[in-house]
A = this chain, B = another copy of it.
Amino acid sequence: MRSGEPCESIPVDDRAVQYGDGLFETVAIRDGEPRLWNYHSERLLTGCARLGLPVPTEQQIQDELNSALEAAPIDTEHCVAKLLVSAGAGHRGYRRSDSPEGTLLVGLAESPRLSEVQYRDGVKVRVCDTRLAIQTQLAGIKSLNRLEQVMARNEWQDETVFEGLLLDTEDRLICGTMSNVFLIDSHSLVTPAITRCGISGVMRRHVLAVVEQAGIACDIRDVASSELNSCQGAILTNSQFGVLPVNRCTDRSWELSDLSRRILQLVTASGVTEYAA
A interface list, Cβ under 8 A from B: 7-21, 24, 51-52, 84, 87, 92-96, 98, 105, 107, 109, 130-131, 133-135, 137-138, 143-154, 157, 169, 177-178, 197
Would A147 and B52 count as touching, CB distance under 8 A? no
Would B21 and A169 count as touching, CB distance under 8 A? no
Would B153 and A94 count as touching, CB distance under 8 A? yes
Would B93 and A178 count as touching, CB distance under 8 A? yes
Q: A7-B12, A147-B145 are in contact. Are A95 and B154 (CB under 8 A)?
A: yes
Q: List 24 A-B contacts (CB under 8 A).
A: A8-B11, A10-B11, A10-B17, A12-B84, A16-B17, A19-B149, A21-B146, A21-B150, A51-B147, A51-B150, A87-B150, A93-B178, A94-B146, A94-B149, A94-B150, A94-B153, A131-B135, A131-B137, A135-B148, A137-B151, A138-B147, A138-B148, A145-B146, A145-B147
CA A233 – CA B152 in complex, angstroms? Answer: 41
A155 to B: closest C-beta gap in Å: 10
Contact residues in B for A19 (Cβ distance below 8 Å):
20, 144-147, 149-150
Would B20 and A145 count as touching, CB distance under 8 A? yes
Would B94 and A144 count as touching, CB distance under 8 A? no
Contact residues in B for A84 (Cβ distance below 8 Å):
12, 17
Would A105 and B12 count as touching, CB distance under 8 A? yes
- Apart from A19-B147, A137-B148, what are 20 other A-B pairs with CB-CB below 8 Å? A8-B11, A10-B12, A12-B84, A12-B107, A15-B150, A18-B24, A20-B20, A51-B150, A52-B151, A52-B154, A94-B146, A94-B150, A94-B177, A94-B178, A95-B154, A130-B137, A133-B138, A138-B147, A143-B147, A145-B146
A112 to B: closest C-beta gap in Å: 8
Which B-chain residue is minimally distant from A100 (CB atoms)? B154
Would A95 and B153 count as touching, CB distance under 8 A? yes
A174 to B: closest C-beta gap in Å: 13
Q: Which of B10, B98, B105, B154 contacts A94 (CB 8 A)?
A: B154
CA A276 – CA B178 in complex, angstroms? Answer: 52
